[in-house]
Amino acid sequence: MHKYSCWFQSIENPDYKYNIDEVIYRCPKTGSLLEVEHDLDELKKETPKYWKNLFDLRYRKQSWPYGSGVWGKKEWVVPFIEDKNIVSMYEGGTNLFWADKYGKQVGVEDLWIKMCGNSHTGSFKDLGMTVLVSAVKQLISNGKEIRALACASTGDTSAALSAYCASAGLKSIVFLPKNKVSIAQLVQPLANGATVVSLDTDFDGCMKIVQEVCRRQQIYLANSINSLRIEGQKTISIELCQQFDWQIPDWVIIPGGNLGNISALGKGFLMLKEMGLISKLPRLVCAQAENANPLYQSFLNDFEIFNPVLAKTTLANAIQIGDPVSVNKAIKILKVFDGIVEQANEDELATASAKVDLTGTFNCPHTGVAITAFEKLVKKNIIKKSDKVVIISTAHGLKFVDFKINYHLEQLQGISNQFSNHPIEVEADPDKVMKVLEDNIL
Ligand SMILES: *Cc1c(COP(=O)(O)O)cnc(C)c1O
C-alpha cells in the first residue's frame, strides 16, 4: 500500500467522494465537475522543508521517473500509481526565461516567461497527459477493461495523447475540427499512429461527440474534463516557485480556452500554501482571444452570469472555445486569487507575439494573447513596474509555423505588419549582396 491517498470529489459538494480507480468524469449525483483531493493531514506529517528538499533533490535528475517535473512531485499528484505503470517522457523542467530585454521595453524588469512548450510534444498538455495515460495503465493492470483513449482537440491535446499512448502501447482516437488545426498539430497524432477523425464542426462540436462515444464503449475520455490531467498541470505552479527558490511572483498570466490550465495553476498554488511551502498567493490573469471570450464577458459582470458563446475563428486556435468545460473551476479559482480576465484581438495577439520574438523567443499565438494581456494591465497601472510577473507560454512556436510565416509574409487578413520581416532576394553577386547589407544593417 502506498502511504498517501487521493480520491475524486464533487466540486459542488465535498461530501460526494469517489474512488480514484473509478472511471468517472463528472459527479453522478450533482453532474458537476470532479477534482482530485489529497489526504493533506498525511502529507503534512512531513515539514515544508522536507518537501522542498525532496523536490529539489529529484528535480531534472536521471533517476526515472522522478526527474520529470510531474513525477518528482508524485506524492502530491497521483500517489496511487505504481512506478511500473508510469508513462513518462521527462516532461516539465521547462525553462523559466528571464525576459529582461522585452521587460526593459515595457518597464517591468522582473519579467519571466515560463516556456511550457519546450516539452516532448511541444505544449504543456504533456504535463496532464503523462498522469492520465499512467492512470489508465494502472487501471488496466488492476483488471479494468479499457480498449482505447479518446479526446477532442484543438491540436495540442491530441498530440500529447497520441504520443503517450504510443509509448504505452495503448490505442488512441482523436477528434479534430476539420481545417481548424495547424499542419504540425495534424501530423503529430498521425505520426504516433492515432486514429484521427476529422469532423466538419468546431471544437465544441468535437467535444460533444467524444463524450457520447466514451459513454457508449470502453473508451476512456482524455479531455481536461478528466480531473487527473489537472493534477499533472498543477505542477506548473509548484515548479515555478521551485525555480524562484520558493519565492512567489506577484502575477501569473496564462492564456485560457477550455479553462483547465488556469484551474490547475490555481490548484497548485493553493496546495503549496496549504502545505506551508509558500506564505502568500500571486494574482492570476486569464487571457482570452476576443474572438472566443466567454470568460472575459463573464468577468465584466463580476462572474455573476456566464454564457457560452459561438467561438469565432482566431489565430490562437488552441483557445478557440466558446463553451469551456472547466468554467466553474476557473471562476472559483479566479475569485480566490483576485483574478483578472483580459482579452486580445487578432491584431494585438499577432503583433505581441512578433514583438517578443524580436527579443529571442519563438512563441505561439496563445502566448501572444497572454503578452497582450500583460501589456494592457501594465498600461492600466494594475501591474506595477516593480512587480514580479510570469507569463505562461503554452506551446512551442514551431507548432504554428503557418501563423508565423504568414505574419512575416504579410498574408494575414486584417493584421498590421509592424514587426514583419521578409527574405530579401538578391543576385548571387558579392557587390550586389554588399549593397543590400549596407542598406539594411551596416
Ligand atoms: C490547450 C491550450 C491552451 C488552453 O488551455 P485550457 O486548459 O484549455 O484553457 C492554451 N494554449 C495552448 C497552446 C494549448 O494547447
Atom nearest to 258 CA in ligand 1: 8
What would the grid cell of residue 154 be?
484543438
Pocket test for ligand 1, best of 33, 120, 123 (most atoms within 8 A of CB): 123
Cβ contact 327:357 at 8 Å: no
pLDDT of residue 148: 97
Phi and psi of 108, rounded to 5°? -115, 105
DSSP state at residue 393: E
Cβ contact 389:107 at 8 Å: no
Q: Ligand 1 center to residue 435 CA distance, Å?
A: 45
> Which CATH code for domain 96-122+230-408?
3.40.50.1100
pLDDT of residue 420: 96
CB atoms within 10 A of CB 141: 12
CB half-sphere exposure, 392, CA atoms < 13 A: 28
CB distance 259 to ligand 1 below 6 Å: yes
CB distance 125 to ligand 1 below 6 Å: yes
C-alpha to C-alpha distance for 51 and 31, rounded to whole angstroms? 35
Beta bridge partners of 335: none
pLDDT of residue 112: 98
Q: How far is CA 195 from CA 88, 99, 130, 146, 269, in A?
A: 22, 40, 19, 16, 37
pLDDT of residue 260: 97
**What's the predicted TM-score (pTM) here?**
0.96
Q: Ligand 1 center to residue 125 CA distance, Å?
A: 8
Q: Ligand 1 center to residue 255 CA distance, Å?
A: 7
Residue 208 CA, distance from chain mean position? 21
Amino acid at 117: G
pLDDT of residue 175: 95
pLDDT of residue 155: 86
C-alpha to C-alpha distance for 430 and 435, rounded to whole angstroms? 9
C-alpha to C-alpha distance for 407 and 428, rounded to whole angstroms? 27
**Given the C-alpha cell 516532461, which residue does it identify?**
91
Beta bridge partners of 396: 363
Q: Ligand 1 center to residue 179 CA distance, Å?
A: 18
Domain ranges of the chain: 96-122+230-408
Which 3 state secondary structure label does DSSP give 310?
coil
Atom nearest to 330 CA in ligand 1: 9
**Which residues lie below 8 Å from residue 143, measured CB to CB, with a gap of 6+?**
none
- Closest-CA residue to 123 (of 87, 89, 76): 89
Q: Ligand 1 center to residue 318 CA distance, Å?
A: 6
CB distance 69 to ligand 1 below 6 Å: no
Mean pLDDT for each consecutive 10-residue tract of the chain (442 residues)?
89 97 94 97 98 98 96 98 97 97 98 97 98 98 96 92 98 92 87 96 91 92 94 98 98 97 98 98 98 98 97 95 96 98 98 98 98 98 98 96 96 95 95 93 76
